[in-house]
Chains A and B, each alone.
Chain A
Amino acid sequence: EAQVTQNPRYLITVTGKKLTVTCSQNMNHEYMSWYRQDPGLGLRQIYYSMNVEVTDKGDVPEGYKVSRKEKRNFPLILESPSPNQTSLYFCASSMTGATEAFFGQGTRLTVV
């Protein structure tokens, strides 16, 4: 089954404690991205990757890092989480940046 898998689904952490949210896709897609969803703001892109070792900033990259060492994986790293990063996060993948995006089920992160 074609899918994008994120882990964990729920995470509560404390300010400053480094965390990683994993994302994996099994569709051999080149393009992957991370979004955060906040009430009244829709989804905003954090980072995207056009292929292995190629990443770039989206609209709200501050406080986040990503890496793309393998085509199927695109982890999101918060080196020093802060409460304003409390949000619902989605990973997405697509064949290219101009085609339909497939989304993971989301990770609800709470930073206290």
Chain B
Amino acid sequence: GNSVTQMEGPVTLSEEAFLTINCTYTATGYPSLFWYVQYPGEGLQLLLKATKADDKGSNKGFEATYRKETTSFHLEKGSVQVSDSAVYFCALLIQGAQKLVFGQGTRLTINP
């Protein structure tokens, strides 16, 4: 079946630290991969996406590369800010499957 496994949280870092949140997936087809972010009290917002192997998605200083050989889509940021504190979800979408499959989410807290 299709599934997404995320690095367990919560994750707490100091401002300007380097961030990695691991995400691996299992898929029967050729998925598109996404990172969504959920700020406190809000819905999910698309952070970045990649639709095929070796694509790199990037937005707001965050990056993730679609690695087919390791079935991974790790989220990275070189220097985090307090405003990055949120819950981050990795997700996959199988073409024609009509649904997103989410990981369990990783809560990130950045301390000043």
Q: How far is the CA of A40 from the CA of B107 in the complex (A)?
A: 11
B42 at the interface (CB under 8 A from A): yes
B82 at the interface (CB under 8 A from A): no
From the candidates A41, A100, A105, name the one contacting B46 in the complex (CB within 8 A).
A100
**Contact across chains for A103 and B103 when beta carbons are under 8 A apart:** no
Please classify the interface of chain B as helix (H, G, I), strand (E, B), loop, or mixed, using the class held by over half of its residues.
Answer: strand
**Contact across chains for A48 and B98 when beta carbons are under 8 A apart:** yes
**Contact across chains for A98 and B100 when beta carbons are under 8 A apart:** no
Residue count of chain B within 8 Å CB distance of chain A? 24
**Contact across chains for B95 and A98 when beta carbons are under 8 A apart:** yes
Please classify the interface of chain A as helix (H, G, I), strand (E, B), loop, or mixed, using the class held by over half of its residues.
Answer: strand
Residue count of chain A within 8 Å CB distance of chain B? 26
> Nearest-CB distance from A26 to chain B (Å)?
15
Chain B interface residues (CB < 8 Å from chain A): 4, 6, 32, 34, 36, 41-46, 49, 89, 93, 95-100, 102-105
Q: Could you show 20 A-B contacts with beta carbons less than 8 Å apart?
A: A4-B43, A31-B98, A42-B89, A42-B104, A42-B105, A43-B100, A45-B99, A48-B99, A97-B93, A97-B96, A97-B98, A98-B95, A98-B96, A100-B34, A100-B46, A101-B100, A103-B43, A103-B44, A105-B42, A106-B42
